[in-house]
Structure 1
Amino acid sequence: MAFQLQAATSRHLAFARTLTHQAMGNYYRQYDLCWSDAGFDSAWAGRENWLICRDDQVLGFISLSRDPKALYIRELHILEGFRHQGAGSWILEQMALKARTEGLGLLRLTVFKTNPARRLYQRKGLSIVGEEDCFWRMELECCQ
């Protein structure tokens, strides 16, 4: 059972918003941040969004942006019942390949300091390169 990416559209917005809110809600409360559906929706509209699938099942989604140097993972969420099955590792490998293919030197993301996903990111080669309040900034060099 291989994983695949499928382009997400506006009809997947409610799924992505709900999954993100469920996955990040505890961190927002922990750090006294305010969740905004409108903010999420606005960000979604300006990003490249993909569903993470296995066979006909949607497991989660990833949301991307770019600048001239880097591919940014803005959101990466897997439904709870599908975590720890390799989808996260697979998607990080795919995004590193995508960055290299597009001639971008870096893969970057930001993660809450208390989010255990940080360990996965580090296992996949991303390093902590900075911090902002409750976040670690992480990156991976994607040389060609």
Structure 2
Amino acid sequence: MAFHLRAATDNDRLFARELTYQAMSGYYLQYGLLWSDNGFDVGWGGRENWLICNDAIVMGFISLSFDSRALYIRELHMIETCRRQGAGSWVLQQMALKAQAQGLLRLTVFKTNPARRLYQRQGLSIVGEEDCFWRMERVCGIAPIE
């Protein structure tokens, strides 16, 4: 498997929005939340977006934001037929490396989303909760040289 990330362009936004809707609509219904295409599009415009690929095949996408303390995974979605092939674990490992400059990798996940177990296997811990979400993080800073 030759997983890699390819920078997403605005031409990829509709694919990413539809994939997110397909993956998240059940949780939105479960928790009484309203989906907004416009809300997704606004978020897309202010984030770093990447397509997750295996050779030439697009498997999913990841959307990121940063502050001085953390790299935030805002969206991470795989096409259903591309799940359980190791790409999600690979992406999380890449994001842990990318988060070393900030020191923390953070995300939120619906409490009933089984992806939480993948995140925990990749070193993220539950550090808090908000209504229907778990807040998770992993320390990723490089240890100082002694």
TM-score (normalizing by structure 1): 0.98
Q: Are 1:115 and 2:86 matched, yes or no?
A: no
SS, match of residue 119 in structure 2:
helix
Hey, what does 2:31 align to over in structure 1? 31
Between the aligned partners of 2:56 and 2:123, the Cα distance in structure 1 is 30
Distance in 2 separating the partners of 1:31 and 1:99: 30
What's the offset of the Cα at 1:143?
1.8
**Alpha-carbon distance in 1 for matches of 2:129, 2:47:** 23
Supply the distance in 2 between the matched residues of 1:125 and 1:83 (Cα, whole angstroms): 19
Percent identity, aligned pairs only, is 72
TM-score with structure 2 setting the length? 0.97
- Residue 45 (structure 1) aligns with: 45
Corresponding position of 2:137? 139
* Map 1:51-90 → 2, pairs under 5 A: 51-90=51-90
* Residue equivalent to 2:127: 129
Alignment of 1:98-109 (within 5 A): 98-100=98-100, 103-109=101-107
Q: Which amino acid aligns with 1:29?
A: L
Amino acid at match of 1:71: L
3-state SS of the aligned residue for 2:123? Answer: coil
Cα distance in 2 between the residues matched to 1:93 and 1:123: 11
User: Could you list the per-position Cα deviations for residues 96-143 of structure 1 after superposition, in whole angstroms to 9, with x for gaps in the alignment?
Assistant: 00111xx11100000000000000000000000000000000000002
Number of paired residues? 142
How many angstroms apart in 2 are the aligned matches of 1:91 and 1:40?
A: 21
Gaps of 5+ in 1: none
Deviation per CA, 1:38-88: give whole Å up to 9, x if none. Answer: 000000000000000001100000000001000000000000000010000
Secondary structure of the 1:76 match is strand
State the alpha-carbon separation in 1 of the partners of residues 83 and 67 from structure 2. 29
The 4+ residue runs of structure 1 with deviation greater than 4 A are none
